Structure 1
Amino acid sequence: MIIDTHAHLNDPTLRSNIQEFLLLARQANVRGILSVGTTVESSQGCIELAEEFAEIRAAVGIHPNNCCQSAPEDWATIERMCLHPRVAALGETGLDRHWDDCPWEVQVDYFRRHLALSRETQLPVVIHTRECANETAALLEEEAKLGALRGVMHSFTGPVDVARRCLELGLYISFAGMVTFKNGEEIREIAKEIPADRILVETDCPYLTPHPFRGKRPNHPALVAHTLELVAEIRGVRLADFAAQTTANAQRLFGSW
Structure 2
Amino acid sequence: MWIDTHCHLDAAEFDADRDAVIARAKAAGVTRIVIPAVDVHNLDAVRLLAIEHGFSYALGIHPLCVMRAAEGDLARLAEALETHHADPRLVAVGEIGLDFFVDGLDPGVQQHFYVEQLKLAKRAGLPVLLHVRRSADKLLAGLRRVDFPHGGIAHAFNGSEQQAQAFVELGFKLGFGGTLTFERALQIRRIAASVADDVPVLETDAPDIPPHWLYKTAAQREAEPGQARNESAELPRIAASLAELRGWTVAETARITSANARAVLPRLR
TM-score bucket of the superposed structures, by smaller chain: over 0.9
CA distance in 1, matches of 2:215, 2:103: 27
Q: Is the 8 Å Cα contact of residues 206 and 230 (structure 2) preserved in structure 1?
A: yes
CA distance in 2, matches of 1:205, 1:182: 20
SS state at 1:6 partner:
coil
Percent of aligned positions that are identical: 31
Structure 1: which amino acid aligns with 2:157?
F
SS state at 1:197 partner:
coil
Q: Is the 8 Å Cα contact of residues 210 and 228 (structure 2) preserved in structure 1?
A: yes
Q: Give a deviation string over 1:100-152, Cα, whole Å, max 9, x none.
A: 34311111111111211121111110001212222222332333xx3424211
Q: Is the 8 Å Cα contact of residues 68 and 101 (structure 1) preserved in structure 2?
A: no
Within-5 A mapping of 1:80-95: 80-83=79-82, 84=84, 85=87, 86-95=89-98
Aligned pair partner of 1:218 in 204, 219, 229:
229
Which residue of the partner structure matches residue 42 of structure 1? 42
Within-5 A mapping of 1:206-245: 206-215=207-216, 217-245=228-256
Q: Is the 8 Å Cα contact of residues 173 and 194 (structure 1) preserved in structure 2?
A: no
Deviation at 1:72, TM superposition (A): 3.4
Q: For structure 1, which segment, 115-124 or 78-87, has the greater mean C-alpha deviation from structure 2 after superposition?
A: 78-87
Deviation at 1:65, TM superposition (A): 1.6
Question: What 5-or-longer segments of structure 2 have no aligned partner?
Answer: 217-226
Which residue of the partner structure matches residue 71 of structure 1? 70
Which residue of the partner structure matches residue 143 of structure 2? 140
CA distance in 2, matches of 1:178, 1:19: 26
Task: Give the CA RMSD over aligned residues.
Answer: 1.5
Within-5 A mapping of 1:127-206: 127-143=130-146, 146-206=147-207
CA distance in 2, matches of 1:222, 1:32: 11
Deviation at 1:6, TM superposition (A): 0.3
Q: Is the 8 Å Cα contact of residues 177 and 204 (structure 2) preserved in structure 1?
A: yes
Q: Is the 8 Å Cα contact of residues 118 and 148 (structure 2) preserved in structure 1?
A: no
Structure 2: which amino acid aligns with 1:22?
I
Q: Give a deviation string over 1:209-235, Cα, whole Å, max 9, x none.
A: 113222362100111112211001110
CA distance in 2, matches of 1:183, 1:154: 20
CA distance in 2, matches of 1:71, 1:91: 17
- Give TM-score, length-normalised by structure 1: 0.93
CA distance in 1, matches of 2:80, 2:264: 19
Residues paired across the two proteins, number = 254
Structure 1: which amino acid aligns with 2:248?
V
Within-5 A mapping of 1:45-56: 45-54=45-54, 56=55
1:99 aligns with 2:102: yes
1:147 to 1:72, Cα distance in 2 relative to 1, 3 A = closer
Q: For structure 1, which segment, 11-20 or 183-192, has the greater mean C-alpha deviation from structure 2 after superposition?
A: 11-20
CA distance in 1, matches of 2:148, 2:188: 29
Q: Is the 8 Å Cα contact of residues 36 and 58 (structure 2) preserved in structure 1?
A: yes
Q: Is the 8 Å Cα contact of residues 192 and 235 (structure 1) preserved in structure 2?
A: yes
Q: Give a deviation string over 1:227-253, Cα, whole Å, max 9, x none.
A: 211001110011101101111111222
Runs of 4+ in 1 over 6 A off after TM superposition: none
CA distance in 2, matches of 1:149, 1:112: 14
CA distance in 2, matches of 1:114, 1:16: 32
Q: For structure 1, which segment, 121-130 or 14-23, has the greater mean C-alpha deviation from structure 2 after superposition?
A: 14-23
Deviation at 1:58, TM superposition (A): 0.9
1:256 aligns with 2:255: no
- Give TM-score, length-normalised by structure 2: 0.90
Q: Is the 8 Å Cα contact of residues 93 and 126 (structure 1) preserved in structure 2?
A: yes
Structure 1: which amino acid aligns with 2:229?
P
Q: Give a deviation string over 1:3-32, Cα, whole Å, max 9, x none.
A: 000011111112432110011001110000
Q: Give a deviation string over 1:60-101, Cα, whole Å, max 9, x none.
A: 110112112113321122112224213211111111111234
